[in-house]
Amino acid sequence: MKKGMETGQTAVHEFRVTTDMFASFEGEVVHPAYSTVSMVYHMEWASRKIILPYLEDHEEGIGGSVKVKHIAPSGAGTAIKVTATLTKLEGNLVFTEVEAHNEAGIIGKGEVVQAILPKHVIQEKINKSGA
């Protein structure tokens, strides 16, 4: 990992809710609102933006854990802003607190943990998974 990553750094991911982000199972929309699955994706993406400038060519980030509380719904067309803040570095682990807001206020919060590993180690783990 390149030097310079420090607690307090932030990254933002902004977008508008589209119908493919709706809560659905087996292709059937359950609620015409921003899904928790999509929120997790966007929280991981905001957190990833923090690590990207610090990855060496032989390294990659991989998800370690995600904790999310989905607080309020957002319909199609709603502008969402997800902010990740680096809170802790522990060895090769990067901890971020994340918050998602729409125009009305906070809609979600949580924590994302990423591990920085050599790409060949990640590939070895994938190979051992039976895939």
**Amino acid 131: pLDDT:** 57
Which single residue is written with the structure tokens 């906070």?
106
Sign of the four-CA dihedral 29, 34, 35, 41:
positive
- The model's pTM is 0.93
Domain boundaries, the chain: 10-128
- pLDDT band of residue 130 (cuts 50, 70, 90) is confident
Q: Which fold has domain 10-128?
A: Thiol Ester Dehydrase; Chain A (3.10.129)
Phi, psi angles (nearest 5°) of residue 120: -65, -30
Strands 59-70 and 22-25: unpaired
Q: pLDDT tens digits for 45-71?
A: 999 999 999 999 999 999 999 999 999
**Amino acid 129: pLDDT:** 87
Mean pLDDT, the chain, whole residue set? 96
